[in-house]
């Protein structure tokens, strides 16, 4: 808060509580939905596939992890709906019209958005019941939702969604693994050595996902920053640049913690104690990622720098 407060003072007319709440609801929607999808499709199904289909305590623990991921997907969808309602309400207030009139004026845009949310909600709810078709539907709809801007024919319109998806596949998937995946294993009835081995499998499967998603995040992040900054000096002469600088510091911190987990913690996995250690270490990584999320909410609420007059 000590860092963010000066940024809020520098742009007191641009950043509002309702605006920040709107942004955070959108972020949490992406993290919940795509974090759940990333965990289920890219981590859980590849965590020693023979174990995933096994009976007994192993199959039960991984099944609980899958149910937990689906529940987080439902929560993400609820944030998606909240973001949509807040967006429409804010627009109605600006235009001085009713909620229903704003929806009608928005045409197919709002109808399509509500349609996406409804399908996500049903798909994840079905997935909680261990119906695999629910995950398939959610994945297909997720791809369509992330790339819907491509229909406009402007490549710039998909940079931000891809940036948010890549962040969700990294930090969102890590969140699901820490909240639903690892606890389901560490609290299971499996023998201690089996718990440690299964945690090692899951973390080892997540590592390439995190690396790939973080690289895509860097590429799309640089592209987004270039589109908004417009000139390099904005980094140290504008509120937007200051917020971006602070964000980059914390992003670097998250990357360092992730690299530490990958290079130093992951090779030690194999025992239950090592599994609990990396669970705590990953929680610290998520803490700093949460700070990045707070700063990002401020950043996107700030006006883009204007080119200086000649």
User: Quick one: pLDDT band at residue 239, thresholds 50, 70, 90?
Assistant: confident
Comparing 93 with 308, the larger pLDDT belongs to: 93
Contacting residues for 147 by C-beta, under 8 A, at least 6 apart: 158, 161
Whether 23 has a pLDDT exceeding 70, the answer reads: yes
Tokens at residue 20, please?
A: 């920040």
- State the alpha helices, DSSP H only, in 96-191: 99-106, 108-128, 132-146, 159-167, 173-176, 182-186
Whether 227 has a pLDDT exceeding 50, the answer reads: yes
> Mean pLDDT across the stretch 172-177?
97
User: Quick one: pLDDT band at residue 8, thresholds 50, 70, 90?
Assistant: very low
Comparing 152 with 83, the larger pLDDT belongs to: 83
Contacting residues for 144 by C-beta, under 8 A, at least 6 apart: 116
pTM for this prediction: 0.92
Give the pLDDT confidence score for residue 2 in this predicted structure.
46
Question: Is residue 196 within 8 Å of 275, Cβ to Cβ?
Answer: yes
Question: Is residue 31 within 8 Å of 76, Cβ to Cβ?
Answer: yes
Contacting residues for 11 by C-beta, under 8 A, at least 6 apart: 239, 301, 302, 303
Whether 25 has a pLDDT exceeding 50, the answer reads: yes
Percent of the chain with pLDDT over 90: 57
HSE, side-chain direction, 13 A CA sphere, residue 221: 18
Question: Is residue 35 within 8 Å of 75, Cβ to Cβ?
Answer: no
Give the pLDDT confidence score for residue 180 in this predicted structure.
97
> Mean pLDDT across the stretch 280-297?
92
> Domain locations in the chain?
4-301
C-alpha distances out from residue 66 to 22, 44, 180, 264, 300, Å? 29, 7, 8, 28, 33
Q: What is the mean pLDDT of the chain?
A: 88
Whether 50 has a pLDDT exceeding 90, the answer reads: no
Distance separating alpha carbons of residues 44 and 42, to the nearest angstrom: 6
Distance separating alpha carbons of residues 25 and 20, to the nearest angstrom: 9
Whether 63 has a pLDDT exceeding 50, the answer reads: yes
> Mean pLDDT across the stretch 124-136?
96
Q: Which of 3-17, 118-132, 146-160, 247-261 has the lowest mean pLDDT?
A: 3-17
């Amino acid at each position: 808060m000590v860092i963010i407060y000066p940024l809020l003072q520098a742009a007191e007319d641009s950043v509002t509580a309702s605006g920040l709440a709107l942004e955070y609801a959108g972020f949490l929607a992406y993290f919940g939905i795509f974090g759940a999808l990333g965990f289920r499709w890219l981590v859980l199904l590849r965590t020693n596939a023979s174990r995933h289909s096994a009976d007994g305590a192993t199959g039960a623990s991984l099944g609980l992890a899958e149910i937990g991921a689906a529940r987080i997907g439902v929560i993400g969808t609820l944030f998606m709906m909240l973001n949509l309602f807040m967006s429409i309400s804010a627009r109605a207030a600006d235009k001085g019209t009713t909620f229903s009139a704003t929806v009608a004026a928005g045409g197919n845009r709002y109808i399509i958005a509500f349609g996406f949310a409804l399908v996500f909600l049903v798909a994840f709810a079905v997935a909680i019941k261990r119906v695999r078709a629910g995950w398939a539907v959610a994945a297909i709809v997720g791809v369509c939702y992330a790339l819907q801007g491509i229909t406009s024919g402007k490549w710039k319109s998909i940079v931000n969604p891809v940036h948010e998806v890549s962040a969700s596949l990294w930090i969102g998937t890590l969140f699901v693994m820490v909240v639903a995946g690892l606890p389901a294993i560490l609290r299971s009835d499996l023998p201690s050595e089996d718990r440690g081995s299964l945690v090692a499998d899951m973390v080892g499967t997540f590592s390439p996902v995190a690396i790939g998603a973080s690289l895509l995040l860097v590429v799309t992040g640089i592209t987004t920053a270039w589109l908004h900054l417009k000139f390099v000096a904005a980094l140290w002469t504008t509120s937007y640049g200051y917020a971006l600088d602070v964000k980059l510091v914390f992003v670097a911190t998250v990357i360092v913690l992730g690299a530490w987990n990958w290079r130093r913690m992951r090779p030690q996995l194999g025992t239950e104690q090592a599994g609990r250690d990396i669970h705590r270490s990953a929680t610290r990584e998520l803490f700093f990622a949460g700070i990045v999320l707070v700063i990002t909410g401020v950043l996107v609420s700030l006006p883009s720098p204007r080119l200086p007059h000649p």
